[in-house]
Amino acid sequence: MRTRSLLALAGTVTALTVAAAVPASADGSAVLTTGSAGGTAAAVGDTLTAPLASGTSATLYSSATGTSGVTCTSSQFTAAVTDNPTAPGTASESVTGHTFDSSSCTSNVTGVLGVSSITVDHLPYTATVASDGTLTVSPASGSTIQTTVKLRTLLGTISCVYQAPSLTGKADNSDSSIAFTNQQFTKSSGSSLCFASGYFTAKYAPVTDAGAPVYVN
């Protein structure tokens, strides 16, 4: 079955576009362009999508340096462009979807038999993408970024709810990617089998607009 998140957390997360040691852009180009750096401006209303980068996984581990937690090999985010000014500047997006395919997810947490679903709650989120490649994902005012992870155990299915005030990622023009590294979530509810903190790491690439790679200028 399919799951939604950003964790996106995640999101995962994620409003998302691309770029990274971003080169200086030509005068007059938009912050987000398609096809090439300094290319055609992404239009307000355009939909941006990205799967996990080939050969990578999205992880939610119990510590920033550990390997215990949940791993998924299939995830995708969807975001709509809401503002795309001239570079240098900051573009805005609305993160409308962040999904995880639960059939691709596994857990090595003691007592956990498998992953039933991962759902990103409280969507849509707002994302901003600066010309230096910094991506910030924020919830609506008064809300939180939230992910619900449902795990199968010998005693039945348990729900682990994790929250974060915001997420920070980095875009890279070399492969039209966006990466999140050890973004911390705190457990807001769940059984003792749910780890107290979750650290989210994932790389999405390529970010595309109607099939064309997206660049940050």
Model pLDDT for residues 20-64, shown as the tens digit of each residue: 334 444 457 999 999 999 999 999 999 999 999 999 999 999 999
Task: Please state, in angstroms and rounded to a whole number, the distance separating the CA atoms of residues 44 and 61.
Answer: 36
For the record, the structure tokens of 115 come out as 């992953």
Mean pLDDT for the stretch of residues 88-117: 96
* Rounded CA separation 45/64 (Å): 36
Q: Please tell me the predicted confidence (pLDDT) of residue 28.
A: 73
Residue 151 clears pLDDT 80, i.e. is over it: yes
In percent, how much of the chain has pLDDT > 70? 88
Residue of 16, 110, 4 whose CA lies nearest to 66: 110
Q: Which of 78-82, 89-93, 133-137, 155-159 has the lowest mean pLDDT?
A: 155-159
Joined together, the tokens standing for residue 43 give 């239009």
Q: What is the pLDDT of residues 56-91, one digit of tens each?
A: 999 999 999 999 999 999 999 999 999 999 999 999
172 pLDDT higher than 70: yes
Burial letters for 17-37: b for 16+ Cβ neighbours within 10 Å, e otherwise? bbbbebeebeeebbbbbbeeb
pLDDT value of position 38 = 96
Confidence of residue 15 (pLDDT cuts 50, 70, 90): very low
Q: End-to-end distance of the chain based on CA atoms, in angstroms?
A: 38
pLDDT value for 155: 87
